């Protein structure tokens, strides 16, 4: 719609002159995206553009010459703030302020009103001064701000509040409870193995799981409480319950998460770990509560998931210790403080050393020996286990090659490969390079893996194991019997040996069921053409019983403690001389 002009004070040549002056502005004003008007000194509207008509809901014929711009302002607000709007005669440069305009249907619209004198190129003394006004609708800006706020405070996948908004609500809850003297509970739930699911089925499947789990957890809040999606695989929950009621809530949450999810005909089984903290017992501010909930969550995740742990000062001490150990371990790697020892595995029928297992040790300059049971899990958490594992492989191969040249006699060297290391696609290349660098024949090397490695990534595991077998490296399953109940995988993978976990060996003499289980494992392994080694043999009675059951080899303190490579050389040299 063209810019609409009404001239009711000028006539004849004077009016023609003013039209000539204003006509160049008409196209600009008509196309302006914001509402604009020209008014006389008394505020009477003389010209309006289409955007102004749309904003106010009035047609130009209802406005021009009939109303002042002030008459469009909310009367109640204008009565209170009349003094803030200066008379037009006093506006020499520019005025700007926020006001409410009432549309034709009575709807209020928050706007920014700007006024300035209308400057023309030719001065007309007989012409009264005019003023130009700009009216900007703030509603769309408010909507944009609302959208930006939503995006900044919500997770893009689940549409749940994110950590920023959860923290804000947590702080408000703390302030409320400080006044009332009440308490509440914060839970952090983390989905177990979601990364593996994403790698196997794709990002869409992982996002679908997050959305469904978010909806299920949200269903636990019929009245009050807060749920948020934080950290990609984690959900934070704030509930007013505490004590046993909070524990029951956590158990119900695990149950909801564990319900099967159908994805393209595949039933997905999801588990989670949950950490719990209570206010005010476990912290008086939001950062402390969130940090300690994370400590409890780490403890829950450490037991293979699907568990709930409450925060305790003992857990916090363990977390601090792990953090300290991680820093010390990085320094130990840099300063070469780690070393290997070797424990013989003896053939029960003749007493010959069949293998030696390379065992990692850490002798700290100030703290002395630190147990692998303590620092290996820390290395896994800190992402150091792959670097350490590669060092173990290369060092063991180097020691084996040197011993073979020195003694002329060498048992097979066994090295443990962690699940993280085994999942790397370059494990085979690492082993191949280590053997080549040490000038060691592959038949002298064996890798020990856990049962979990064989099921975490079956196809990748199968490819790597077949490549190792073709190279001539043997493969043993360590700690057998503690992992999965299904044994079908033993027929799928090219394995050479099973190592019976020490927990079964230690109970053989006192628990008939353990003895029967060990015998069953030995018989099953032999039927599959696999050798069997028993771990943790510490007495002569255990050794005799294992030999009677047909066990091939034994490893434990009864035969030898782990020894240095120098001691192993002394042990092997006489054998080489025979």
What distance in Å separates the CA atoms of residue 310 and residue 144, rounded to the nearest whole number? 42
Q: So what's the pLDDT on residue 223?
A: 60
What distance in Å separates the CA atoms of residue 474 and residue 442, rounded to the nearest whole number? 8
Nearest CA-CA partner of 188 in 263, 277, 57, 269: 277
309, β-bridge pairs: 275
pLDDT above 60 (res 438): yes
When mean pLDDT is compared across 63-77, 193-207, 454-468, the lowest value belongs to 454-468
Intervals of CATH 3.30.450.20 along the chain: 4-144
3-state secondary structure of 420: helix
Which CATH superfamily includes the segment(s) 4-144? PAS domain (3.30.450.20)
Distances (CA, A) of 397 to 148, 287, 476: 58, 48, 17
- Give phi and psi for 183, each to the nearest 5: -130, 180
Two tokens, residue 69? 């711009």
Nearest CA-CA partner of 101 in 66, 75, 128: 75
Longest dimension (CA), the chain: 132
Q: So what's the pLDDT on residue 574?
A: 60
226 and 237 in contact (C-beta within 8 Å)?
yes
**Confidence band for 368, pLDDT divided at 50, 70 and 90:** confident
448 and 416 in contact (C-beta within 8 Å)?
yes
161 and 256 in contact (C-beta within 8 Å)?
no
pLDDT above 60 (res 521): yes
Task: Give the contacts of 401 (CB within 8 A, at least 6 positions apart).
Answer: 438, 439, 440
pLDDT above 80 (res 125): no
Q: In whole numbers, what is the pLDDT of the chain averaged over residues?
A: 86
What distance in Å separates the CA atoms of residue 297 and residue 300, rounded to the nearest whole number? 5
- Give phi and psi for 540, each to the nearest 5: -65, -35
Within 13 Å and on the Cβ side, how many CA atoms surround 456?
19
pLDDT digits (tens, 9 = 90+) for 208-226: 999 999 999 988 876 667 8
Within 13 Å and on the Cβ side, how many CA atoms surround 26?
15
When mean pLDDT is compared across 61-75, 214-228, 312-326, 329-343, the lowest value belongs to 214-228
Task: Give the contacts of 124 (CB within 8 A, at least 6 positions apart).
Answer: 14, 17, 18
Q: Among all chains, which residue has been given the structure tokens 């047609």?
A: 59
The pTM of this model reads 0.61
**Confidence band for 27, pLDDT divided at 50, 70 and 90:** low
Intervals of CATH 3.30.70.270 along the chain: 154-311
Q: So what's the pLDDT on residue 356?
A: 95
Nearest CA-CA partner of 261 in 307, 194, 306, 187: 194
- Give phi and psi for 338, each to the nearest 5: -85, 150
What distance in Å separates the CA atoms of residue 574 and residue 578, rounded to the nearest whole number? 7
Nearest CA-CA partner of 135 in 66, 31, 48: 48
pLDDT digits (tens, 9 = 90+) for 244-298: 999 999 999 999 998 988 888 888 888 899 999 999 999 999 999 999 999 999 8
> What string of DSSP letters covers 102-132?
EPTTS-EEEEEEEEEE---SS--TTSPPEEE
pLDDT digits (tens, 9 = 90+) for 62-115: 999 999 999 999 999 999 999 899 888 888 888 999 999 999 999 999 999 999
What distance in Å separates the CA atoms of residue 279 and residue 239, rounded to the nearest whole number? 11
Cis omega (within 30 of 0) on the bond before 280?
yes
The CATH code of domain 322-573 reads: 3.20.20.450
What distance in Å separates the CA atoms of residue 483 and residue 498, rounded to the nearest whole number? 13
Taking domain 154-311, whether its CATH number is 3.30.70.270 is answered by yes
**DSSP code, position 556:** S
pLDDT above 60 (res 126): no
| Average confidence (pLDDT) over 359-364 | 92
**DSSP code, position 83:** G
3-state secondary structure of 216: helix
Strands (E), 240-320: 261-263, 266-268, 272-279, 307-310
pLDDT above 50 (res 394): yes
Q: So what's the pLDDT on residue 17?
A: 43
Q: Helix count (H) and strand count (E) of the chain? A: 21, 22
Intervals of CATH 3.20.20.450 along the chain: 322-573
- Give phi and psi for 33, each to the nearest 5: -75, -20
How much of the chain, in percent, has pLDDT values that exceed 70? 90
């Amino acid at each position: 719609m063209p810019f609409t002009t009404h001239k009711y004070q000028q006539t004849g040549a004077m009016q023609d002159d003013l039209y000539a002056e204003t006509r160049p502005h008409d196209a600009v004003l008509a196309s302006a995206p914001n509402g604009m008007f020209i008014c006389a000194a008394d505020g009477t509207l003389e010209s309006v553009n289409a955007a102004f008509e749309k904003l106010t809901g009035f047609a130009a014929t209802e406005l021009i010459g009939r109303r002042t711009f002030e008459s469009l302002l909310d009367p109640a607000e204008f009565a209170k703030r009349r003094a803030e709007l200066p008379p037009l005669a006093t506006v020499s440069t520019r005025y700007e302020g926020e006001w409410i305009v009432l549309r034709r249907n009575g709807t209020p619209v928050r706007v920014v009103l700007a006024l300035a004198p209308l400057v023309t190129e030719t001065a007309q003394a007989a012409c009264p001064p005019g003023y130009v006004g700009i009216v900007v609708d703030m509603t769309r800006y408010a909507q944009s701000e609302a959208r930006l706020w939503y995006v900044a405070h919500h997770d893009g996948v689940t549409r749940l509040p994110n950590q920023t908004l959860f923290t804000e609500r947590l702080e408000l809850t703390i302030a409320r409870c400080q006044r009332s003297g009440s308490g509440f509970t914060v839970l952090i739930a983390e989905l177990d193995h979601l990364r593996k699911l994403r790698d196997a089925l794709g990002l869409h499947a992982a996002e679908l799981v997050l959305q469904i789990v978010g909806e299920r957890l949200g269903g636990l809040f019929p009245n009050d409480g807060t749920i948020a999606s934080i950290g990609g695989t984690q959900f934070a929950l704030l509930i007013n319950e505490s004590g046993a009621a909070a524990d029951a809530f956590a158990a119900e949450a695990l149950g909801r998460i564990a319900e099967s999810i159908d994805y393209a005909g595949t039933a997905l089984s999801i588990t989670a770990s949950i950490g719990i903290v209570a206010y005010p017992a476990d912290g008086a501010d939001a950062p402390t509560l969130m940090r300690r909930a994370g400590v409890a969550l780490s403890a829950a995740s450490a037991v293979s998931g699907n568990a709930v742990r409450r925060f305790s000062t003992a857990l916090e001490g363990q977390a601090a210790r792990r953090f300290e150990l991680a820093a010390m371990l990085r320094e130990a790697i840099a300063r070469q403080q780690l070393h290997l020892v070797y424990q013989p595995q003896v053939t029960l029928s003749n007493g010959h050393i069949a293998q030696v297992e390379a065992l990692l040790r850490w002798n700290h300059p100030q703290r002395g020996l630190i147990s692998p049971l303590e620092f290996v899990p820390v290395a896994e958490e800190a992402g150091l286990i792959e670097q350490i594992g590669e060092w173990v492989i290369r060092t063991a191969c180097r020691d084996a090659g040197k011993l073979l040249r020195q003694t002329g006699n060498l048992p097979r060297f066994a090295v443990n490969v962690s699940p993280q290391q085994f999942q790397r696609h370059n494990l085979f290349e690492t082993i191949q390079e280590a053997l080549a660098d040490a000038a060691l024949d592959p038949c002298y090397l064996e890798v020990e893996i856990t049962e979990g490695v064989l099921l975490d990534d079956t196809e990748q595991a199968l490819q790597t194991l077949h490549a190792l077998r073709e190279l001539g490296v043997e493969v043993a399953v360590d700690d057998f019997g503690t992992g999965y109940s299904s044994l079908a995988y033993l027929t799928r993978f090219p394995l050479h040996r099973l190592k019976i976990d020490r927990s079964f060996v230690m109970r053989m003499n006192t628990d008939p069921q353990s003895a029967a289980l060990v015998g069953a494992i030995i018989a099953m392994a032999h039927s599959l053409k696999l050798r069997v080694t028993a771990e943790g043999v510490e007495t002569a009675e255990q050794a005799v019983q294992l030999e009677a059951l047909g066990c091939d080899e034994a490893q434990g303190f009864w035969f030898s403690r782990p020894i240095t490579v120098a001691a192993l050389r002394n042990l092997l040299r006489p054998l080489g001389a025979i």
